Amino acid sequence: DQQVKQNSPSLSVQEGRISILNCDYTNSMFDYFLWYKKYPAEGPTFLISISSIKDKNEDGRFTVFLNKSAKHLSLHIVPSQPGDSAVYFCAASAWRDDKIIFGKGTRLHILP
Amino acid sequence: EAGVVQSPRYKIIEKKQPVAFWCNPISGHNTLYWYRQNLGQGPELLIRYENEEAVDDSQLPKDRFSAERLKGVDSTLKIQPAELGDSAVYLCASSPNAGELFFGEGSRLTVL
């Protein structure tokens, strides 16, 4: 039973436009959420996180939105750049020091 | 600052053979994780260490997998004997505190 779901295996977006990656979770105990980015043959790298006490966190071109009632979060990248082409993993934990559960990932392609 | 170092990067073995992976975390990071990532999936936690203590090994298949983190610094993950289904990328990560994980590049295992 997947607790963190990324239902879109892949997404293609034109360079310069907004990329929106979605993530749903089932465990209402989750209160800390992270996004990781992964290039081929490399380990995942941390991108941005959000605590359940917030509904938005912004870092440069990256913004994460959290809708607790819908158990849904999304990552917005604007404007999208070629270097953003990668696999993006959504992850969550029940407490900040508990184990982190990952989704299956969404492969983002930025088109020239 | 050096990142998480893993070796070997790639390993091909025949089934029933043993294999070992090594990880050196970022200096000062007390928490160390081993994750397994199957093709098309997100990372799945195998074991988590706080210093030299395994605090969560509930997902580690203990009949064939073992891990150790002597002296609370570097760690090894062993599989003996390996099975076809063990083919995956084995990721090591470390953390200075709760939340953000820093991953190594991973060790890709192919079992023939």
Cβ neighbors of B15 (< 8 A, separation 6 or more) are B81, B82, B83, B84, B111, B112
From A47's Cα to the closest Cα of chain B, the distance in A is 9
Task: Provide the residue type at A7 as one letter.
Answer: N
- Please answer whether residues B5 and B74 qualify as being in contact, where contact means their C-beta atoms are separated by less than 8 angstroms: no
Among candidates B4, B42, B100 on the partner chain, residue whose Cβ is nearest the Cβ of A102: B42
pLDDT at A96 over 80: no
Q: How many domains are there within chain B? A: 1
pLDDT of A26: 96
Does residue B98 have a pLDDT over 90?
A: no
Domain CATH code at residue B90: 2.60.40.10
Q: How many domains does chain A have?
A: 1
CATH number at residue A44: 2.60.40.10
* Rounded Cα gap, residues A88 and A1, in angstroms: 20
Q: Are strands A106-111 and A10-14 parallel, antiparallel or unpaired?
A: parallel
DSSP structure string for chain A = --SEE---SEEEEETTS-EEEEEEE--TT--EEEEEEE-TTS--EEEEEEETT-SEEEETTEEEEEETTTTEEEEEESS--GGG-EEEEEEEESSTTSPPEE---EEEEEE-
Q: What is the pLDDT of residue B96?
A: 83
The strands making up B19-24's β-sheet, listed across from edge to edge, are B5-7, B19-24, B75-79, B65-68
**Which residues of A lie closer than 8 Å to B, measured between beta carbons?**
4, 6, 9, 32, 34, 36, 41-46, 49, 89, 91, 93, 95-97, 99-105
pLDDT of residue B39 exceeding 70: yes
Residues contacting residue A109 through CB under 8 Å, at least 6 positions apart: A10, A11, A12, A13, A85
Q: What percent of chain A has pLDDT over 90?
A: 91
Average pLDDT value for residue range A37-58:
94
Return the pLDDT at A2. Answer: 81
Closest C-alpha to A22, from A78, A61, A67: A67
Q: How far apart are CA B19 and CA B79, in angstroms?
A: 5
Tell me the C-alpha distance between B80 and B82, whole Å: 5
d(CA A35, CA A81): 17
CB atoms within 10 A of CB A68: 15
- Gap between the Cα atoms of B107 and B88, Å rounded: 8
Q: Is the pLDDT of residue A1 over 90?
A: no
| Domain ranges, residue A105 | 4-111
Using the Cβ of B53 and the Cβ atoms of chain A, whether some distance falls under 8 Å is answered with no
The percentage of residues in chain B with a pLDDT greater than 90, rounded to a whole number, is 79
Per-residue model confidence (pLDDT) at position A92? 94
Give residue A97's pLDDT: 61
Kindly list the residues from chain A whose CB atom is less than 8 angstroms away from the CB atom of residue B98. Answer: 95-97
Question: Can you tell me the mean pLDDT for B74-95?
Answer: 96
Mean pLDDT of chain B: 93
Q: Domain span at residue B37?
A: 5-111
